């Protein structure tokens, strides 16, 4: 007798369907600023890096006397999706600047950054015999009011070169083999009136501390050609 083998057939039922959306993903609400540094490499007006202090949402950066605050580049470390304004972008810090950090979940938080400078006693600080380090001139079609074109370039100071600001308001200069004596008057807006140098435009103090003095001139041609001239004089004790 033949043995019958009965095989049961098993139906495999595959139930297909749409994948359910994972509602367990939670977007982070984290948002904050952990560090702000104004690096000398990004800011020509700084001799060394300036790191801001952070207290909650209030951030404060202390700069040397007379540091121009109208064009500073901050490097910002933050937690969140984005920050506005962006870091590494120049800002005018003459007044506090507000930064907004956006978190992954769409929430935001504001942080206020203030730049501070100690008041400078210009009258006392500038009196010294300053050595000339470098005198740098750029000229983009600038023409003197009476005619004449300023040759651009860089003069590196010799050991005998100096600007000597004397306490009584006299100024003696020896530069590139030439001498002249004139006067100077400190003005309230960190400019110096030097009669013999008015042809270059207003004389502005860009840096003044116990070691360095930087003077800056910026002028535009009066003949309407739009020419511009810049001169930066770097001095040290």
pLDDT digits (tens, 9 = 90+) for 226-236: 888 889 999 99
The H or E element spanning position 178 is: strand 178-183
Q: What percent of the chain has pLDDT over 90?
A: 57
Q: Is the pLDDT of residue 9 over 70?
A: no
pLDDT, residue 5, reads: 45
What pLDDT score does 96 carry? 95
Nearest of 86, 111, 124 to residue 213 by alpha carbon? 124
Does pLDDT of 17 surpass 80?
no
Q: Is the pLDDT of residue 10 over 50?
A: no
| Residue-level pLDDT at 143 | 80
Q: Is the dihedral of CA 222, 226, 227, 229 positive or negative?
A: positive
pLDDT of residue 145: 74
Q: Could you tell me the sign of the dihedral formed by the alpha carbons of 120, 125, 127, 129, in that order?
A: negative
Residue 48, pLDDT > 50, answer: yes
Q: What is the largest CA-CA distance in the chain?
A: 136
- State the Cα–Cα distance between residues 208 and 133, nearest whole angstrom: 14
Q: Quick count: other Cβ atoms within 10 Å of Cβ 127?
A: 13
- Residues 112, 117, 119, 120, Cα dihedral to 10°: -160
Average pLDDT, whole number, for the chain? 86
- The contacts of residue 13 (CB under 8 Å, 6+ apart) are none
Q: What is the pTM of this model?
A: 0.54
Give me the residues paired with residue 143 across strands: 149
């Amino acid at each position: 007798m033949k043995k019958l083998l009965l095989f049961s057939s098993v139906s495999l039922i595959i139930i297909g369907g749409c994948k359910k959306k994972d509602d367990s993903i939670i977007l982070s609400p984290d948002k904050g600023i952990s560090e702000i540094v104004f690096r000398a490499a990004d800011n020509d007006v700084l001799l060394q890096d300036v790191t801001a202090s952070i207290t909650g949402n209030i951030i404060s950066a202390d700069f040397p006397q007379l540091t121009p605050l109208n064009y500073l580049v901050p490097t910002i470390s933050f937690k969140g999706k984005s920050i506005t304004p962006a870091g590494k972008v120049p800002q005018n810090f003459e007044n506090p600047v507000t930064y907004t950090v956006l978190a992954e979940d769409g929430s935001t938080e504001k942080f206020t950054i203030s730049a501070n400078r100690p008041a400078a006693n210009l009258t006392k600080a500038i009196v010294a015999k300053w050595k000339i380090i470098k005198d740098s001139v750029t000229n983009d079609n600038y023409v003197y009011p009476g005619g004449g074109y300023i040759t651009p370039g860089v003069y590196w100071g010799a050991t005998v070169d100096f600007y000597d600001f004397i306490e009584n308001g006299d100024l003696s200069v020896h530069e590139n083999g030439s001498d002249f004596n004139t006067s100077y008057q400190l003005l309230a807006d960190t400019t110096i009136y030097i009669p013999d140098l008015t042809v270059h435009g207003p004389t502005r103090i860009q840096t003044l501390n116990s070691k360095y003095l930087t003077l800056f001139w910026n002028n535009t041609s009066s003949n309407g050609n739009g020419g511009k001239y810049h001169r930066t004089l770097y001095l040290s004790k």
